[in-house]
Structure 1
Amino acid sequence: MTDHRARTALFFDSGIGGLSVLREARVLMPDWRFVYVADDAAFPYGAWEEEALRDHITSLFGNLLERYRPALSVIACNTASTLAIDHLRRAYPGETFVGTVPAIKPAAERTRSGLVSVLATPGTVKRQYTRELIRQYGQKCHVRLVGSDNLAAMAETYMRGQMVDEEAVRREISPCFMERDGRRTDIVVLACTHYPFLVNRFRKMAPWPVDWIDTSEAIARRAKTLSDGIGTLPGKPDEADLAVFTSGFPGPELCRLMQGFGLTPTMLQGDQP
């Protein structure tokens, strides 16, 4: 990057799931300012047609990049990353993007039983990008793709401090568990940044113990590595860390949640910064 920008990192997700990545990045990048963008006006992304969603994300980023001038943008959403990150890189050359992809490679390397499941949104499950990862890294094991229509919304509900039906959680994760020739699934990849917030529920509802792979820390480490090579102005900007909502100013529950993550709630449009 030729121009030296302030140390601002933008984190983007369809909702509040990307907070799981931001939480890890805060530890690794303490001298950076963070702007968290929840595209809640468009949530859930799974309801969109692919081309329309790609165009929407690309157009929205034009606004975000101009408004906040981040030195680094993290797409903390598997669906958005697998669908749009290559398009974003072409549309905005010179910008630095960090993507989020299902952790199929480390799962395939770590499994002992050879039975791995990838728990994701339907959009991530059907993406050719995901199947290419399986072809490259998962040929020596059996990888089952499990698309959940409801878990992301359940995580949003849970993060807002509301009750989640544990039996409903059990139904969503039950296809992840396979038994073959005396072997059992031993790894489940959490291929949605919303899911780590429900992982304790997953452990409770699972029929047997498995290793739940959360990619949040790995994404944050990648962001840290790239940030070290970006020309930025010294020191952390004076502006507050922000939580930006595309639907407008959030309600009291979300405000409290964002403040708990050290973020000042605001909205994309209007008079606020």
Structure 2
Amino acid sequence: MTRERPVLVFDSGIGGLTVLRELRVMMPARRFVYVADDAAFPYGDWEETALKEHIVRLFDRLIRTYDPHLAVIACNTASTLVMPDLRARFPLPFVGTVPAIKPAAERSRSGLISVLATPGTVKREYTRELIRDFARHCHVRLVGSARLATMAELHLRGGSLDMDELKSEIAECFVEKDGRHTDIVALACTHYPFLANAFRKIAPWPVDWLDPAEAIARRALDLLPNDASELPTTPDLAIFTSGNVSHETASLVHGFGLSAREDGRAPSRSD
């Protein structure tokens, strides 16, 4: 039997499970390897050049180890920073995650949209290019939160949410202008959809919280060969670069059909 080459899904933590969920819906006969670079989480604490080098080195080993058909970078920060380097170095398709500014601008009725992201994604020139290319007719508010990704990680692992703290993190997303209100918030971090229900409860008015996971999955499906008709026999894996998987985390990824595996060989900032 030929080796079952997986789809590799990569994120700084477990937020990319939102993307994995959609990938599974669209390609149930594919095998998946989910990589959480939790040894380096959060990416916002890194200097950009060091983070870029870290991710490229890590992918060099991941590709040699798992020989994926395709890699999905389920992380806005990594996608906006390192995608050109990955595509130039490795001969396989890469699907990135970028702020959903174009669909937000197309769907907005008020012309007031917000992009809720990490500080790294907010400051990228790539993000501003998306606004210039697709949302010139809109007022776009960029909101960078240094805390939401960590809050989502802790919440997914069973921790409680401080709703007042959460409310303060998203408050800038809501704009009133000339009788109009923000009507769409693009979630530009794959961790954030896990907090969407909480966002809805504390929002000052209803908005559409735009999750890019379905669009990412559709793009991945377009790039894969149509040769997977039978269910894979090799289990789907979740790899944690920290080499430390708690019982709560193992239970969480098991709920997504993944078998957790520790992997402490990831390069560190000091390498």
CA 216–233 in structure 1, closer or farther in 2 if over 3 Å, else same: closer
2:176 and 2:3 map into 1 onto residues whose CA distance is 52
Q: Which one is further off, 83-92 or 36-45?
A: 83-92
| Equivalent position of 2:224 in the other structure | 227
Structure 2: which amino acid aligns with 1:97? Answer: F
Matched-pair contact (CA < 8 Å) for 2:5–2:67? no
Matched-pair contact (CA < 8 Å) for 1:7–1:237? no
Q: CA deviation at 1:6?
A: 2.8
Q: Helix, strand or coil for the counterpart of 2:99?
A: coil
Deviations 1:80-137 (A, max 9, x none): 0000111100111x21111001000011111111111000000100011111000100
Q: Give matches, 1:75-224, under 5 Å.
A: 75-92=73-90, 94-224=91-221
| Equivalent position of 2:13 in the other structure | 15
Unaligned runs of 5+ residues in structure 2 are 266-271
Matched-pair contact (CA < 8 Å) for 2:113–2:139? yes
Unaligned runs of 5+ residues in structure 1 are none
Q: CA deviation at 1:234?
A: 6.6
Name the % identity: 62
| Equivalent position of 1:64 in the other structure | 62
CA 25–18 in structure 1, closer or farther in 2 if over 3 Å, else same: same
Matched-pair contact (CA < 8 Å) for 2:4–2:234? no
Deviations 1:39-68 (A, max 9, x none): 000000001111111110000000100001
Q: Helix, strand or coil for the counterpart of 1:247?
A: coil
Q: CA deviation at 1:269?
A: 4.4
Matched-pair contact (CA < 8 Å) for 1:7–1:236? no
TM-score after normalising by structure 1: 0.94
Matched-pair contact (CA < 8 Å) for 1:5–1:71? no
| Equivalent position of 2:252 in the other structure | 257
Give the RMSD, CA atoms, in angstroms.
Answer: 1.4
| Equivalent position of 2:237 in the other structure | 242
Q: Helix, strand or coil for the counterpart of 1:70?
A: coil
Deviations 1:19-50 (A, max 9, x none): 00000110111111110000000000001111
**Count of paired positions:** 264
Runs of 4+ with deviation above 3 angstroms:
232-237
Matched-pair contact (CA < 8 Å) for 1:117–1:144? yes
Q: CA deviation at 1:268?
A: 2.4
Q: CA deviation at 1:267?
A: 1.9
Deviations 1:159-178 (A, max 9, x none): 01110101111000000000
